[in-house]
Amino acid sequence: MPSQLNRLGPAAVGTAGVGLCALTVAVTVSGSGSDYAWVEAFARALMVAVPLAVGAYALRRPPFERFGKLLIAAGLAWFLTTLANSDDSLLYSIGRIAGWAEEPLLIYLILVFPSGRLEGGLDRALVWAAVLLVVTLYLPTALVVEGYPVPVPWTSCESACPGNAFMLTGSEPAVVEDLIRPLREVLAIALFAAVALRLAYRIRGATRLTRRTLAPVLAVACFRFGAYCLILLGRRLAPESELVDVSVWLLALTVPLMAAAFLLGLARWWLFMVASTQRLAARLHGHPRPDEVRAALADAFDDPELEIVYWLEEGRGHWADADGHVLEPPAVATTRCLTEVRDDERLVAAIIHDAALRDDRAFIEGATSYALMALDNHRLSAQASLLLREVRKSRARIQAAADDERRRIERDLHDGAQQRLVALRIKLELAAERMNGDGAGAALLRGLGSDVEEALEEVRALARGIYPGPLADRGLVEGLRAAALRNPLPTTVLAAGVQRYSREIESAAYFCCLEAMQNAAKHADGATATVIDLSDNGSLRLEVRDDGAGFDPEHVPSGVGFISMRDRVAAVGGDLAIESAPGRGTRVAANIPLDAEDR
């Protein structure tokens, strides 16, 4: 039936609805003996007209088109229940059986609202349970009972009702009244309670948009559950009471009330769309930052958990966040949905949002079109961040390789040339002592030993300059203090909270301070002292200050030393600043961010 509705427009549905309502009124009036036959006919017509009208409305809204078709099909099926008001036994029997089939259909509509699809296994189980209940405990009894139980919502007949046209046996088995009817009524109550609880659970775990949409449906479902319980209890305890009659009519009116609840939920959804588009247009102006775009979309989608990921096309392409960090392919749960943002055919980004908006293409396209320019700019920014990070990593690898080479050279000098020079010095001293009769030769050898000692000191100084032992063995502070003792200018090392860090961090900080200290000793005219100040307050901060003549940084080109310091600090993600002025000395300051792996 829903597939055939693809070719039906709202006008065709309206025409069919008018005809079916007219038939409903005619059947009800002709078969009713009440003084209020026309009131009954109007109420019965509402059971057909309201679902068809709401279905036609939903049919014109693309997100709810599937549900609209289902609701129209349900309205056409509910027309059959009005035949239970006929005084013809065949039509009456068809109407009563259609009333049984109406319950699974209504449960199905409640659970698929508003998308027109069952969301999970529990929903499918509830629908199949309703179908199984009707197929096993309701429909077979139509072949063996003389009359159908009354009162029921589908007919006003309570006595002298037409007989069952489908009865095949000579008499009604007692088991139907004694066992089957009580059992199916208890199971029906339990099933309606389960459906109401399921709907309440969905609302509890849903987004605010879904809660707004489902709340009216839950209210009517609970109302119908209460009315159904009143009918069953009243029919057992006080079948002649007015409470039973009132409950019957309340249960009958829950069909148009449920359709009205569907309409209210769809209207609230549509108003949300309009307001959301306006909010998004108001907030996404100028050049918003990535966090502002995400916040605007989260507010527009009414989804605080909304995420934005960007598609970077380097290599085989991958997803990344706003800072360019590579992400795994976004995982989408049953309650979440991924919507791609494209510029023509080019993938720009994706929005992970509430799955309730999966089918609302008009809203998604409107929202993403507002955000497209900003998202594309942020994608380029994320791409640039990734490239910068790759450059920083490459620079860090080069610096690490250089430091490794320094350490290797230092070890080779210490274990090779230095040890050989020490051995040569000892051999020359021994040779000089053995030359007892040749004083001039012994003096010459001792002179050569002194030359070797000087060469040894130069090798040791070279080794310390390449990669100092105190830095590797005892850390940054001790390494700088050892270097300060060798500095021509009196140098003080101050340290607060400084500990051991990774080799890359310590090497960058040490050689940056060493270069600044050596520059002060060579170029700071009139300097009397140098101060190295180290601190750790979440990031490693270092300063090298002197009281020399200073200079104007704008008129003095950066030399190799300054460039080397900047490169070293930048290689570990830090930044460096040089402050100086004539007559006010020079201050070199660097700040290196730290994380758990750096400590």
Q: Which residue has the higher pLDDT, 14 or 168?
A: 168
Report the alpha-carbon distance of residue 12 to residue 17 in Å, rounded.
8
Residue 332 in this model has a pLDDT that exceeds 60:
no
Q: Kindly state the percentage of the chain with pLDDT values over 90.
A: 6
The string of pLDDT tens digits covering residues 110-130 is 888 888 888 778 889 999 999
Q: Which has the higher per-residue pLDDT, 75 or 286?
A: 75
pLDDT by residue (tens digit) across 135-194?
A: 999 999 889 888 888 777 777 777 778 888 888 887 888 888 889 888 988 898 888 888
Is 560 within a domain?
Answer: yes
**Does residue 228 lie within any of the structural domains?**
no
Residue 26 located in a structural domain: yes
pLDDT of amino acid 130: 92
Is the preceding omega at residue 114 within 30 degrees of 0, hence cis? Answer: yes
176 and 316 assigned to the same domain = no
**For 16-27, what is each residue's pLDDT tens digit?**
778 887 887 787
* 77-86, 140-149, 303-312: segment of lowest average pLDDT: 303-312
Contacts made by residues 36-45, CB under 8 angstroms, sequence distance 24+: 40/85, 40/156, 43/249, 43/252, 43/253, 44/82, 44/85, 44/252, 45/21
Report the distance separating Cα 118 and Cα 19, nearest Å: 32
| Residues 52 and 188 occupy one common structural domain | yes
Residues 15 and 126 in one domain: yes
Domain that holds residue 340: 290-391
Residue 79 and residue 50: Cα distance in Å, rounded?
A: 11
* Number of structural domains found in the chain: 3
| pLDDT of 132 strictly over 90 | yes
Residue 2 has a pLDDT of: 47
pLDDT at 531: 92
Of 353, 371, 391, which residue sits at a domain end?
Answer: 391
Residue 126 in domain: yes
228 Cβ contact list (under 8 Å, min separation 6): 188, 189, 192, 251
**Could you tell me if residue 438 is inside a domain?**
no
Contacts of 482 (CB under 8 A, 6+ apart): 464, 468, 470, 471
**Helix 242-283 and helix 65-81, axial crossing angle in degrees, nearest 10:** 170
With residue 563 as reference, give the H or E element that holds it: helix 560-571
235 domain-assigned: no
Q: What is the pLDDT of residues 88-115, one digit of tens each?
A: 889 888 888 988 888 888 889 988 888 8
Q: Please identify, among 199, 232, 263, the residue that sits at the C-terminal boundary of a domain.
A: 199
How high is the pLDDT of residue 85?
A: 82
Kindly tell me if the per-residue pLDDT of 465 is higher than 60: no
Instruction: Kindly state the tokens that stand for 224.
Output: 């119908």
Calculate the average pLDDT of the chain: 77
- Whether 541 and 599 have beta carbons less than 8 Å apart is answered as no
**Are 183 and 306 part of one and the same domain?**
no
* Strands 530-536 and 491-496, sheet pairing: parallel
pLDDT 10s digits, 424-444: 667 666 776 667 656 666 666
Of 174, 199, 224, which residue is a domain's last? Answer: 199
CA–CA gap between residue 74 and residue 4 (Å, rounded): 13
How far is the C-alpha of 314 from the C-alpha of 2, rounded, in Å?
46
Is a pLDDT exceeding 80 seen at residue 222? yes
Q: Is residue 458 part of a domain?
A: no
Residue 519 has a pLDDT of 87
CA trace torsion 259, 263, 268, 272 (10° rounding): 130
Cβ atoms within 10 A of the Cβ of 489, count?
A: 18
Q: How far is CA 588 from CA 502, 543, 544, 564, 573, in A?
A: 22, 6, 5, 13, 17
Measured between alpha carbons, how far is 2 from 199 in angstroms, rounded to an integer?
24
Q: What is the pTM of this model?
A: 0.57
User: Does one domain contain both 51 and 190?
Assistant: yes
Of 163-177, 291-305, 537-551, give the lowest mean pLDDT range: 291-305
Q: How confident is the model at residue 530 (pLDDT cuts 50, 70, 90)?
A: very high
Copy the structure tokens of residue 18: 């008018």
The greatest distance separating any two alpha carbons of the chain, rounded to the nearest whole angstrom, comes to 154
Average pLDDT over residues 528-548: 90
pLDDT of residue 5: 46
Instruction: Identify whether residues 183 and 325 lie together within a single domain.
Output: no
Contact assessment for residue 367 and residue 357, using Cβ atoms and an 8 Å cutoff: no
> 187 with 331, same domain?
no
Q: List Cβ neighbours of 62 (8 Å cut-off, separation of 6 or more).
A: 359, 360, 361, 362
Q: How far apart are CA 372 and CA 236, in angstroms?
A: 64
- Flag whether 409 is in a domain: no
The first and second tokens of residue 14, run together, are 């309206």
